[in-house]
């Protein structure tokens, strides 16, 4: 029941007070998934959800081909969100051979690079994800670096 965070991923940990949006953690998670679904659609890739399996998946109608492109793991305390998503953009998928991603042994993982056959500009992809989050939540996200948080 673990995941991998590393180079080539967009790891988004939105820090939101859901009382300003809605008090529904399931809706929050669906919004995070939807931002990734819309982002991969921008690149011509159909993504979706699989009942009972959180995250964004490709080939959802074929269990033998279904593979995860984005994992989610969130925490919420007093409607303040923590953690978020890991979206595989240019991720070295070999790292996943050493774990059972999210405890799901029957399905694989993929990346945007794997699906498109070329390395992606992670800053461009990140901007697209951010734009979809802004649209879905009707807000403007700001980036906060670790250095800022640790200051």
Cα separations in angstroms, 104 against 8, 93, 100, 128: 22, 15, 6, 28
| Under 8 Å between Cβ of 47 and 56 | yes
- Nearest partner of 78 among 19, 37, 28, 20, judged by Cα: 19
Report, as residue numbers or ranges, the catalytic residues. 102
CA 61 – CA 51 distance, rounded (Å): 11
């Amino acid at each position: 029941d673990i995941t991998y965070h590393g180079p080539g991923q967009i790891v988004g940990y939105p820090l939101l007070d859901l009382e300003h949006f809605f008090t529904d953690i399931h809706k929050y998670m669906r919004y995070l998934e939807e931002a990734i679904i819309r982002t991969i659609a921008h690149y011509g890739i159909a993504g979706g959800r699989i009942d009972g399996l959180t995250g964004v998946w490709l080939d959802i109608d074929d269990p033998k081909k279904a593979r995860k492109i984005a994992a989610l793991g969130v925490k919420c305390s007093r409607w303040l969100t923590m953690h978020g998503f890991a979206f595989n953009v240019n991720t070295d998928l070999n790292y996943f051979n050493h774990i059972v991603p999210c405890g799901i042994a029957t399905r694989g993982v993929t990346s945007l690079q794997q699906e498109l056959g070329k390395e992606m500009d992670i800053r461009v992809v990140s901007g697209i994800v951010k734009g979809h989050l802004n649209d879905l939540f009707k807000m403007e996200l700001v980036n906060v670096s670790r250095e800022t948080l640790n200051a």
